[in-house]
Structure 1
Amino acid sequence: MRILTITPSLGLGGTERAAQNFSIGYRRHGHEVTVLNHGRAGPREASLSAAGCRVFNFGDDRQAVLDILGSREFDVVHIHREGRRNDRETDLLRWARPKARLIAETNVFFARDYGVGDNLIDIHLQLACINHVRWRRRGGKGASVVIPNPVDAGDYPTPATDDIQTFKATHRIPADHFVFGRVGQPLVGKWDPCIVEAFVTVVTHHPRVHLLLVGASPDVVERILQLNPGLRAHVTLLGTLTEPAELGVAYGAMDSFLHAARQGESFGYVLAEALLYGLPVITVSRPHRDNAQTEVIRHGIDGYVVRSRRYLVEAMESLMQDHALRSRVRQGGRQGVIERFDLERVCSDALCVFEALLGGSPTPLLRESGPGIPAPIIEGIGRDSPIELMLARIYDWPWVDYCREQLRYLKRGSLARLRHP
């Protein structure tokens, strides 16, 4: 098949990584892949080119790129986007519609497009079952299938023990301390200061505990710097690490991955990374936000799901004592990720869906359930926050979602006009 991948940029974000991994996966299955980047250039272009994908960047001459691609036809156009109305992406979908036999979107935030974009898409790929359920509840229509983001386990080599020991010595992390860690992008929505508050409580009762944060958001960094010197000595702050070897050693220095994000996760590559390095994960449920982290992390198997932030300390103290769970994840976490999210498997599932739709055959992966379908039951420590559950129900009412999306669209348009008057 001839496949065109459309990505919002080639930067280091999860959406961009997914676009890269799908494209490389399609190439490994023997398909011809072209990548159209309509945003910032970035380091992912080198990996795509090395895999045999031809990459086009809008750069300074958008029309020239579209003219070059204009004479081509594609079996599948796979666009990676937030899912909501976006005028630039709508223009690209209009441009692609007559050239493509099938248009698929990976709907990152299970959002509704209240413009014309939805009418130009044949199949919606949702990253988790809970995303699919909430998209339907909001009135999402059309064919939908749960296809998670693909993970290339080969990108995450096991770090050497000597390198981990050197890392700990360099950053003054005592060898006999239990290390909770967190890696992320320095964005406010990707972090939650509650992990600092929980750690302060834990270290007060368990002095041989350390916190290692990589790429923390400004508000989390500020909170750490406010700690008294005694507590501050138990925390190591590092900036963003982009080299895989450096990142692997940082993961290797951790005993557990401590995850909480204000906006939750629509998938959560960082969670899969932690499991690939054999780290049990503690993650906090956010039912009124993105909440796929409660699927990626299986409670009692990959670590602990905490049903609200107030139970985070309990989960941390429990995991420190749960030697059996930590041992199971250390030995089987990597294999669990490969079984569920391996690049070859996920891309194969996506290609099967595309081929079935192109051939006019039904596919068992399609999910046509209505908005009344119950959400998956979330198992975890503690109880859900009643306020967050109420907000989740309100946000998923179609008319509320419509108003919120329209306000978001208007705000985005206003900000764009201020930047480019």
Structure 2
Amino acid sequence: MEKKIKIIECADQLGLGGTEYALQLYCKYLDKEKFDVTAVGLYKGGEREQLIKGLGIKVVVLNGDFNEFEKIIEGTDVFHWHGYGQVDEKLFASLNKNKPRLIIQTNVFGHFEKSPFYDLIDFDLYISKMILVRRMALDGSYAEQFVGKRKVLPYPVDIDFLKDENIEPPLADVEQFKIKHNINDCFVVGRVGRADDHKFDMITLTAFAEYLNYNNNAKFLLVGATKRMLALIKKLKITNSVIILDNTTHMKQLLTYYKAMDVFLAASNIGESFGMVMAEAMSMGVPVVTISTPAKDNAQVEVVDNGDTGFVTYRLKETIAAAINQICCNPEQAKLFGKNSIQKIYRSYRAQDIVHSLEQLILKNLGIEFKDAPYLIVNWDNDLKADYKNRCSNLFGQPNLIGKIKVRYYQTFAYKVHNKLFSIIRKMW
């Protein structure tokens, strides 16, 4: 190839969020012999600027200067936009003036606006099957015209980096950590996430309290706590069973948290559009117990294969506790779950394979020959829809009559309204 393909990796900002992390991984793994890569922060920069520059990638922060953006976009072959699905009219008006050969959107939250600018996007890539299934259902017959445009390409997980001997903590370090926190002789359930009530489902703590009825020697490792979480811990009278730690940007320390856990308990109040923390825990060989949230984002049912890498349960404290106990009482099964989890991340989300899949999509559509490699882009079809439906119904545990009523209620519009109002009242309080 005589001339490199000029590609711009662009997001609103270059902070420490998951969207920007994915952008960084695309910058890291795009083939530099084929691609000339530039990272752009459209409105502001952030902590990830230096991390991307450290990869030898040119970084431009525009601070909303669209005149400068139009200069940068000249001669660009591929514009890769990392966004939430809403159309930024200033951005796409600028792109319309001097359209690159390909415009690709990584659609983080699966939103969509009926804007004429949407026609400029050649490929709308959703980061999980779940959000594409939901998007197509919401758009109804209108979505039929977008079947060729909308595809699934999951978020990249940098498992080779996480498993590097200089990054993954050795067993001795994990044991020292467990001794320090007096959890070396305990069954450890854990959660890692932002200290954010919007993201954290309190069923996590309620279910752990229920699990203590099975095993009163268990501990909960809570990384990222809020006042509301602490208040519930006190109300449930499980203070002595909970170890509270602050979040960290130090990857080796974060991986130590994961490896100290026997089970990662993932229950989000809003569900997951992908579920990076689950993927990180699985990279460390930790079985995951999560809940299905079909009325909300629900990509966790894709990341976790029920009965193979962990358990997906109903949003009921009884079934969650039973799933945790199943893993605790069956160490060989837990070991197999851990092994399968690592294999799942390598097979489905390995960063190099995700990025190479994007490369193949680009090269094919630019009419450039390429070597076949793992191709992880999934097209929209009825099989994808059926797989998601099956995952929503294939859950661990059998709720009783009251449990079934609760599950039905959690899926209703009334529950969503109740949850929203409760959230507003809590913020006002």
State the TM-score, normalized to the length of structure 2: 0.82
Question: 2: CA distance between counterparts of 1:299 and 1:78?
Answer: 34
- Taking the aligned partners of 1:74 and 1:289, their CA distance within structure 2 comes to 37
Distance 1:226 1:117, change over 3 A: farther
Which residue among 153, 175, 183 is the counterpart of 1:147?
A: 153
2:326 is equivalent to residue 323 of structure 1: no
* Residues 1:84 and 2:86 are matched in the alignment: yes
Q: Which residue of 2 aligns with 1:168?
A: 178
Residues 309 and 14 (structure 1), Cα distance of their counterparts in 2 relative to 1, 3 Å cut: farther
Q: Is the 8 A contact 1:94 1:120 kept in 2?
A: no
The counterpart of 1:3, out of the listed 1, 7, 22, is 7
Counterpart position of 2:65: 62
Q: Could you tell me how far apart the structure 1 residues matched to 2:198 and 2:125 are?
A: 23
Match of 1:95 in 2: 94
Deviation (angstroms), 1:219 = 2.7
- The aligned amino acid for 2:135 is W
Give the C-alpha shift of residue 370 in structure 1: 8.0
Partner of 1:16: 20
Deviation at 1:63, TM superposition (A): 4.5
SS where residue 271 of structure 2 aligns? Answer: coil
Q: Against the structure 1 CA distance between its residues 167 and 78, is the aligned structure 2 distance closer, same or farther, given a 3 Å change threshold?
A: same
Any residues of structure 2 matched to 1:326-337 within 5 Å, and which?
326-337=334-345
**Structure 1 residue 201 corresponds to structure 2 residue 201:** no
- Decide whether the 8 Å contact of 1:190 with 1:217 is kept in 2: no
User: 1:237 is matched with which residue?
Assistant: 244
The match for 1:263 is 270
Please say which of residues 217-226 and 235-244 is displaced more in the overlay: 217-226
Q: What residue number does 2:201 align with?
A: 192
Q: Which deviates the most, 309-318 or 242-251?
A: 309-318
Q: Is the 8 A contact 1:77 1:104 kept in 2?
A: yes
Distance of aligned partners of 1:39 and 1:300 in 2 relative to their CA distance in 1, 3 Å threshold: farther
Distance change in 2, residues 1:371/1:314 (3 Å): closer
The whole-number CA distance in structure 2 between the counterparts of 1:364 and 1:319 is 31
Task: State whether residues 77 and 101 of structure 2, in contact with CA within 8 Å, keep that contact through their aligned partners in structure 1.
Answer: yes
The residue identity in structure 1 corresponding to 2:190 is G
Corresponding residue for residue 230 of structure 2: 221
In the other structure, the counterpart of 2:390 is 377
Question: Separation in 2 of the partners of 1:303 and 1:257?
Answer: 9
In structure 1, the partner of 2:425 is: none
Distance 2:258 2:381 in 1: 40
State the alpha-carbon separation in 2 of the partners of residues 169 and 94 from structure 1.
58
Structure 2 CA distance for aligned equivalents of residues 109 and 327 of structure 1 = 33
Alignment of 1:94-113 (within 5 A): 94-97=93-96, 98-113=98-113
Displacement of 1:29 after TM fit? 6.4
| Per-residue deviation, residues 112-132 of structure 1 (Å, max 9, x unmatched) | 223444222111101122222
Mapped to 2, the partners of 1:349 and 1:100 lie a distance apart of 20
Report if aligned partners of 1:104, 1:125 keep a CA contact under 8 Å in 2.
Answer: yes
Larger displacement relative to structure 2 (100-109 or 309-318): 309-318
Determine if contact 2:206/2:236 at 8 Å carries over to the other structure: no
1:252-289 deviations in Å (ceiling 9; x for gaps): 21111000001111111111100111100001111011
Structure 2 unaligned segments of length 5 or more: list them. Answer: 370-374, 399-403, 417-429
Contact 2:129 2:384 in 1 (8 A): no
Question: Deviations for 1:368-403, whole angstroms, at most 9, x for unmatched residues?
Answer: 5489955431122136722344559x99xxxxxxxx
Change (3 A) 1:370 1:110: farther
Aligned counterpart for 1:352 among listed residues 360, 373, 377: 360
Q: Which runs of 5+ in 1 are unaligned?
A: 396-421
Once the two structures are TM-superposed, the CA of residue 205 in structure 1 deviates from its matched residue by 3.5
- The 1:218/1:348 distance shift into structure 2, 3 A limit, reads farther
State whether residues 11 and 83 of structure 2, in contact with CA within 8 Å, keep that contact through their aligned partners in structure 1.
Answer: yes
**Does residue 73 of the first structure (1) align with residue 75 of the second (2)?**
yes
User: Which residue identity lines up with residue 122 of structure 2 in the other structure?
Assistant: D
SS, match of residue 261 in structure 2: coil
- Map residues 21-40 of structure 1 onto 2, 5 A cutoff: 21-27=25-31, 30-40=34-44
1:243–1:138 Cα change, 3 Å? same
Distance 1:380 1:159, change over 3 A: same
Could you tell me how far apart the structure 2 residues matched to 1:123 and 1:17 are? 21
In structure 1, what is the equivalent of residue 51 of structure 2?
47
User: Which residue type is aligned with residue 94 of structure 1?
Assistant: A
* Map of 1:291 onto structure 2: 298
Contact 1:286 1:308 in 2 (8 A): yes
Aligned length: 385
Shift of 1:206: 1.1
Contact kept, 8 Å, 1:159 with 1:249, in 2: the verdict is yes
Q: Could you tell me which residue of structure 2 aligns to residue 367 of structure 1?
A: 379
Contact 1:144 1:366 in 2 (8 A): no
Spell out structure 1 runs of 4+ moving beyond 6 A: none
Give the aligned partner of residue 399 of structure 1.
none
Aligned with residue 386 of structure 1, among 408, 412, 416: 408
Query: What is the CA–CA distance in structure 2 between the aligned matches of 1:130 and 1:17, rounded to whole Å?
Result: 21
Displacement of 1:58 in angstroms is: 2.6
**CA separation of 1:222 and 1:55: change in aligned 2, threshold 3 A:** farther
Whether the 8 Å contact between 1:193 and 1:219 is mirrored in structure 2 is no
The structure-2 alpha-carbon separation of the partners of 1:227 and 1:307, relative to structure 1 and needing over 3 Å to count, comes to closer
CA deviation profile, 1:198-240 (whole Å, cap 9, x unmatched): 1112123311100001123443233224453xx2111011111
Corresponding residue of 1:413: none
Root mean square deviation of aligned Cα: 2.8
Cα distance in 2 for residues equivalent to 1:340 and 1:29: 25
Distance 1:238 1:28, change over 3 A: farther
Give the residue type in structure 2 aligned to 1:284.
I
